């Protein structure tokens, strides 16, 4: 599974998130690929610079599956300690624009974002490590998204970041999704901006 570092809006590589492209075997009957291989995933993390001990200690605690209609935006979500979550995200039906925002206060890319289109056609996956907010916009009529999470869901740790915070300026492909304003859950529509989260101490060290 080749993995590549993504670039920010200012064309700088962001340490942490990885776009993973699996090897797909296909013919006129259909296709086959490994959507998850623990050994290869850990090697991707180590190759990208994660310490070996940390990569080998990573475990996934639960798998999640969502279905969304065109123009739905889910996010930006994250969990604080003691139950933070890293997420390995893929889209098995339709297509989405998937985004990770760096919330690591000491990071050179703090407050910046990276994004990638994940689809049933390209089979790509986005690794969103602990320390990042995650969200996606549905580009197709319907999309089914699965992700592995490294921590259990914990209501007390769960937080949201405003999807259109101007200080982050995510370039959401709303026109491609066919909407001018995305469809949001109430908690996402009311989510605070990055500065509010920082003032409340609700970002990562």
By annotation, the residues acting in catalysis are 77, 147
Helix ranges (DSSP H) in the chain: 38-47, 52-57, 174-177, 186-189, 194-199
CA-based radius of gyration for the chain? 16
How is residue 192 written in tokens? 């605070």
Rounded CA-CA distance 63/144 in Å is 13
Strands (E) located in 21-150: 25-27, 30-32, 62-69, 73-79, 87-93, 95-102, 113-119, 125-128, 132-138, 142-149
Decide if 146 contacts 63 (C-beta within 8 A).
yes
């Amino acid at each position: 599974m080749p993995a590549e570092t993504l670039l920010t809006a200012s064309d700088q590589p962001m340490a942490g998130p990885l776009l993973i492209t699996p090897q797909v075997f296909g013919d006129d009957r259909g296709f086959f690929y490994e959507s998850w291989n623990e050994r290869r995933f850990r090697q991707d993390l180590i190759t990208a610079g994660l310490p070996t001990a940390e990569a080998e200690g990573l475990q996934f605690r639960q798998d999640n599956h969502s279905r969304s209609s065109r123009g739905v935006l889910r996010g930006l979500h994250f969990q604080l300690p003691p139950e933070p979550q890293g997420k390995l995200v893929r889209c098995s039906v339709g297509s989405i624009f998937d985004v990770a925002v760096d919330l690591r206060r000491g990071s050179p890319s703090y407050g910046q974002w990276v994004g990638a289109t994940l689809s049933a056609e390209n089979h790509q996956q986005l690794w969103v490590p602990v320390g990042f907010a995650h969200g996606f916009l549905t580009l197709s009529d319907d999309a089914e998204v699965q992700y592995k999470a490294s921590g259990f869901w914990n209501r007390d740790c769960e937080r949201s970041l405003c999807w259109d915070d101007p200080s982050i300026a995510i370039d959401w492909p709303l026109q491609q999704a066919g909407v001018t304003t995305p469809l949001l859950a109430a908690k996402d529509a009311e989510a605070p901006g990055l500065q509010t989260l920082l003032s409340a101490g609700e970002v990562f060290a």
